[in-house]
Structure 1
Amino acid sequence: MENLDHIREEKPKAKVTIKPAQHVFSGDTVTLRCDIYDEGVTRWRYSWYKEGSINVFSELQEHTFSLTLVNTPVMEETEIRQDYTDSVSPPVSLIISPNRTQHFTSVSVSLSCEDQSDSTGWRVSRYTDRWGLEDCSSSESGSQTGSTCTINSTVIWDTGVYWCESESGEKCHPLNITVHFDVILESPVHPVTEGDTLTLHCLYQHTTPPNLRADFYKDESLIQSQTTEMIISTVSKSHEGFYYCKHPERGESPKSWISVTVFHSESQISVLHILSSVLAVSPYLLVTVVLIFRCCRMRVASVEEQETTI
């Protein structure tokens, strides 16, 4: 009989991390790192896959590549976002209904390009792993009416990057949309302004109401357990990161990146400018004051000496 003592009871666990772990733009360099947790083995060979096929076979623990539109996936572990915007962003926003970045399968999702003046001529475009770069209405269940695209019955392959594009080639800020079954995280579509309230819900597709009593995580760390919602009353820049929820029986949601915008009013900017100016010249003011003080003391001493002589 074959000796089976060398066969491991559990397979080694691998974890892939991405640098940078936040917003990545076209032309940037991305590094993938694979850490394998296993006892007794110190040397591994790594196969890096792209769209199901081996892209690189190496003994190196890290794989670095330049991000382009052609090889840009939307990944579960991080948010890969294309810079589709011009130097000056047009006054158009992509509005999603239901108003969240994660959606269940087999539901209707509406995406509209809204302008304060006129949204005529704007269409919704997208990039997905399955179909690549295309018009939103190119999907089997998609239809475009004016500047609104409606996906009548979502599927996993609708996960991707969506943005508004005009006839002249102008593009608005893109949004990552994830389609998932069972459990999703309800989070803001657009960045949250510093000082505002952030509310997150964990939703389950097969119950009414859909709210779950679940655990909420930020960047892999548990921040709130067994609650139907998580509320951060005053958001700051430190709250920026990847969030997801997890239910012990239903499973966990995909991760969503939540951005925090720091807003400075004109008065705040003026005060900061004045303070920075004062701090910049303060060493010179201090030296000047010291010199004036010394000159005054010398003059007083000289007068006192003359009076004593007289």
Structure 2
Amino acid sequence: MQACEVAALILLTVVSCSRQYEELPQTTLTLEHPFPEIFTGETVTLRCGVEGGSAGWKYLWYKDSEDTPVLQTAGRSITGDSYTITAAAVSDQGQYCCRGQRKNRPSSSQLSNPVTLTVSELPKAVLTSSPQWGELYTGETVTLSCGVEGGFTGCQYLWYKSSQGGTVQIRGTTGARYTLSPVTQSHSGEYQCEAQRGDPPRSSQRSDPVTLTVSEGRPKPALTREPAGEIFEGDTVTLSCVVEGGSGGWRYLWYKDRQGAPVNQTDSSSGTGAGYTISAAALSHSGEYWCRAGRGRNTSYSQYSDPIWVNVTGE
């Protein structure tokens, strides 16, 4: 055999070996879900792609290890290049990989990089009221706000009210805030909310209830005086105004000699909150006193208290 023929045979052998051990196609695995967080009961799809196109490939799926193939079970299906979990559970958490396989050369692709699937339990909605007064009176305004812990994003909100007639969904509002203005006695009851997202919709856990109690009309403060007996010049006198029921948020207004005539704030007399103090009584402090309370951005006033008489006697 001539030298050039030997060289050609060697070259052919090298080329053949090179083709036999050519690099396998790369494989890409992607997670398809409309939100960054995945919660139990939601649908999630993993999609496998082979470099150069998907023609002729079928796909093998693995979870946590290449020795652990993914099997099709109820709610978990392999269709073409996708693996779909229709109702994710915490047990579906783990690292997933895939590779392509076919009869033609090359017979398989590379193993994809792993994709971590994290599935969390459904979060619970949190419901708050503003202002937090406990007891409301007709004509006032209250806003209920619904939030969700744990990153349950992209939501609309469902609202519920429970009363003696049972629990009903409140129609016509899907925002995170629900404002009642002005409130009436019919608004009394327990309120709850939940967040909903996705298609098909998936709801968070329902919030703990917030109770609203609405009383008819306006409250009437009780006005008292200390000391209750005779008052002399130089004595300290304290008037106290209390709204029955103990509801919060009140600021107090003080009047002397007639309703609507504010008291004069002087060095010897001042009103702070629910109390009005005369630190050095003078004859000029004698007269009738009233109080009333107001609260809220659009101030809602109580009734006037019954009057109380302050009679200062000279020494």
TM-score, with normalisation over the residues of structure 2?
Answer: 0.28
**Larger radius of gyration between Structure 1 and Structure 2:** 2
Q: Normalized per residue, which structure has more strand?
A: 2
Q: Which has the higher helix share?
A: 1
